[in-house]
Structure 1
Amino acid sequence: MKKVITKLLLIFLTISLIGSLLLVFVSSILFSPQYVFRTIVNGNSDVMDYKVFSERIIQKSSQPYRYKYNLDESLKDMSIDYTYKGIHRNKTLNSFLKETNTTSFIIVHDDKVVLEEYYNGYDKDSVNTSFSMAKSIDSLLIGKAIEDGYIKSEKQSIADFIGEFKGTNMESITIEDLLLMRSNISYEEGKIWFGDDAKTYYTPDLRNLALAHNNLTEKYEGRFHYNNYHPLLLGIILERSTGKHVADYFEQEVWDKIGAENDASWSLDSKKTGFEKMESGINFKAIDFVKIGSMLLNGGTWNGQHIVNEKWIKQSTLSQFPLNSDEYKGSFLENRNIGYKYMWYSTPNNNGGLDYFAMGKYGQYLYMSPENDIVILRTGNSSGNVDRWEDIFKEISFEVGKYKPDTEP
């Protein structure tokens, strides 16, 4: 009997192995061997993926800006109330950040750094990655391209820049539809390498992927649906309208002007095709990325340089409240009182206004609170067992914002 069971088990394992190999072989033909290899070897995305992909360097500024510091050590002892899986917890800020896999945490108030801390093996010279915070930068660059005259309006059809879509159903989609994540372009999550999450992350030719994906659906009915084909198409539009690589345009119009003290990089789909990973790929040292937030709070001007007009900042970051809850039904924003505008999130603050933020996988946040004159950057190796980081940032902004420039400690 044991021999029969052993034989059947061997047969089962052999069939499973052959089936797996056949699946990999067929998938390599359907997609590409490099793509399938990436998904198998790398698996889920990771904060160290900037070491996996090729990159385009973003040179540091010719006129570096260095923040003034007004450090308040007492902030580390601030009481933080938060929940995880609905269970209430309380810790000091310092303990909370250590225990939530935070790697950098910077608070800027009144254009001065009041807290700058690094945890879990990271320091000021460590490289952090943006994940989907990059989408908010995509939006910023679209606004800049409009201001520079490369694009007439966000209301333009994407086919005005992507001739391959002329005369197709894709012609009905506007740049604004992409920015709002409200086009009819289909997007299927999961399903290992057959799903769009993996395709839009690991495919070694993301331009071709986005141009070939012309599957439209009516199932979204104008509702918000998170879709990584949108930033890829925006990247193609930026390339074709400006005549520059997206990373080069970012370096020229933003990174250099904000006074970045260090080089950054933008991960590429592959060395061969050299297209920026528009959905996730900006890599930086924390003190430089927070300057983007300071620039936004200062109406698009920073380090003595005009970067983007204030009208675009307001138009792109702030949603209309109260929200139409039907727009977010079935999405990860359902019932969170967070709106999504042009690839930025916004939410009511404790002062009667709106805070807004960029957000990426594993809890990457750039958070701005205009009424409190606060910018917060949080990077991490994971989301850290926290239900809603935005609630924590909101409370910190309110408390730190109480200190006026003439009464700060």
Structure 2
Amino acid sequence: MKYIVLLLLIIITSCTSESNIIEIENTPENIYFPPINSDIWETISAEELNWNTTNINQLYNYLETTNTKGFITLYNGKIVIEKYFNNHSASKAWYWASAGKTITSTLVGIAEEQNYININDKVSKHIGTGWTKTLLEKENLITCKHLLTMTSGLDDSLGDSVEPTNLIYKTDAGSRWAYHNVYKKLQDVIASATNTTFENYFNNQLKNKIGMTGTWVSTGNFNLYLSNTRSMARFGLLAMNNGVWDSNEIVNTTYFNNSTNTSQTINKAYGYLWWLNGKESFYLPQSQQVYSGKLIPNAPDEMYAALGKNDQKIYVVPSKKLVIIRMGENANSSNLALSSFDNELWKKINDILN
């Protein structure tokens, strides 16, 4: 009897150990987050990842000849590629342009989680009436969500000024998608609702919590964020992990998931100031033409992106554990967001990944 009991214990122990081993082997690799307020950032080589390293120099040549300043590729948070071109360096700052819209989107989510605002609030609830030059009944149709989704209904053909005289009614909010600088009013909403400046709120709720550097600079009608390339990569890493930095939830994950999925029925390739790949159709800035097919055919369908003027890029591909950053001057010709450069760059990236 003692032998039977002993045998059973051995079998149970063996099965338990085997089960534990299997569980450990199947545990996903933890995402790496670089420490706050430090230049330390762990790396992993392309060789370790079995990438096609023979094509990396072709990528570098393409980046350099297309006016790139900084380029970073992260795999699961670790730096695989970090390269600077055209008299740029790791310490130099460059502008995000409209890629910085995604910062505003993120701060809206944070402010909503802290009960300062609701994205379905009328914009006028926070910044007062008369912020447009249209009938009050039409102005009051415009919510924060309409600004997040580029469906304000305001005329986008009048330039970038967000002064009331330039914000003219075109159609009812929610019925038309048009890329418009009026999204900037969300920064005023945040400042008013939180009783601080937009920059202070950004510093305290986002920048300092994930170790970004940089500053906001007002230039005419725009409030541009300038930072080094690694700070853009930190934000991209936050985005890859659905708004969570390490174990600290920076922005509500449900809100963030909503922001990186189709936000309205008109432009299916647009979330809350994020561009979405893999949809059946898309619109482009300054156009009401519907384009069939994916935004960037060579990129993974699940990718979401922050796209800024003159080819400032944050590409995020969660299933591949990739964050890819490009900063620089316009690659081919001046553009507001998407350009032919995106698709050609992804061809070069695929030549390395595959």
The reply to whether TM is greater than 0.5 is yes
Among 125, 129, 132, the alignment partner of 1:164 is 129
**Kept after mapping to 2: 8 A contact 1:102/1:378:** yes
Percent identity, aligned pairs only, is 23
Cα offset, 1:355, TM superposition? 0.4
Partner Cα separation in structure 2 for residue 141 and residue 92 of structure 1: 38
Match of 1:101 in 2: 67
TM-score of the aligned structures, taking structure 1 as reference length: 0.64
Cα offset, 1:170, TM superposition? 0.5
Give the alignment's Cα RMSD to 1 decimal: 3.3
Match of 1:185 in 2: 154
- Mark the runs of 5 or more structure 1 residues left unpaired by the alignment: 1-60, 80-90, 189-194, 201-205, 271-276, 340-346, 403-409
Match of 1:215 in 2: 168
Cα distance change on mapping 1:369 and 1:325 into 2, 3 Å: closer
Cα offset, 1:133, TM superposition? 1.0
Number of residues paired by the alignment?
296
**Matched letter for residue 218 of structure 2:** L
Cα distance change on mapping 1:95 and 1:394 into 2, 3 Å: closer
Cα offset, 1:362, TM superposition? 0.8
Match of 1:227 in 2: 180
Is 1:68 aligned with 2:42?
yes
Partner Cα separation in structure 2 for residue 350 and residue 76 of structure 1: 19
What does 1:76-115 align with in structure 2 at a 5 Å threshold?
A: 77-78=54-55, 92-115=58-81
**Kept after mapping to 2: 8 A contact 1:130/1:281:** yes
Q: Which moved more, 1:282-291 or 1:219-228?
A: 219-228
What does 1:262-341 align with in structure 2 at a 5 Å threshold?
A: 263-268=213-218, 279-319=222-262, 323=279, 325=281, 331=287, 334-335=290-291, 337=293
**Matched letter for residue 169 of structure 2:** L
TM-score of the aligned structures, taking structure 2 as reference length: 0.73
Question: Any idea what the Cα deviations from partners look like across 1:172-210, whole Å, max 9, x if unmatched?
Answer: 11111111111211122xxxxxx513xx3xxxxx6xx1x
**Matched letter for residue 248 of structure 1:** N
Match of 1:381 in 2: 329
Cα distance change on mapping 1:221 and 1:266 into 2, 3 Å: closer
Partner Cα separation in structure 1 for residue 77 and residue 36 of structure 2: 21
Question: Any idea what the Cα deviations from partners look like across 1:81-109, whole Å, max 9, x if unmatched?
Answer: xxxxxxxxxx8101101100000110001
2:97 is paired with a residue whose SS is: coil
Partner Cα separation in structure 2 for residue 315 and residue 140 of structure 1: 11
Q: Say which structure, 1 or 2, has more relative contact order (CA 8 Å, 6+ apart).
A: 1
Among 185, 191, 196, the alignment partner of 1:239 is 191
Partner Cα separation in structure 1 for residue 172 and residue 192 of structure 2: 31
Question: Any idea what the Cα deviations from partners look like across 1:335-370, whole Å, max 9, x if unmatched?
Answer: 26457xxxxxxx67766x510000111100011011
**Matched letter for residue 106 of structure 2:** L
Question: Any idea what the Cα deviations from partners look like across 1:200-229, whole Å, max 9, x if unmatched?
Answer: 3xxxxx6xx1x4444101399823211112
Cα distance change on mapping 1:64 and 1:326 into 2, 3 Å: closer
**Matched letter for residue 127 of structure 1:** A
**Kept after mapping to 1: 8 A contact 2:236/2:315:** yes
2:140 is paired with a residue whose SS is: helix
What does 1:192-207 align with in structure 2 at a 5 Å threshold?
A: 195-197=158-160, 200=161
Cα offset, 1:145, TM superposition? 0.7
**Kept after mapping to 2: 8 A contact 1:103/1:121:** yes
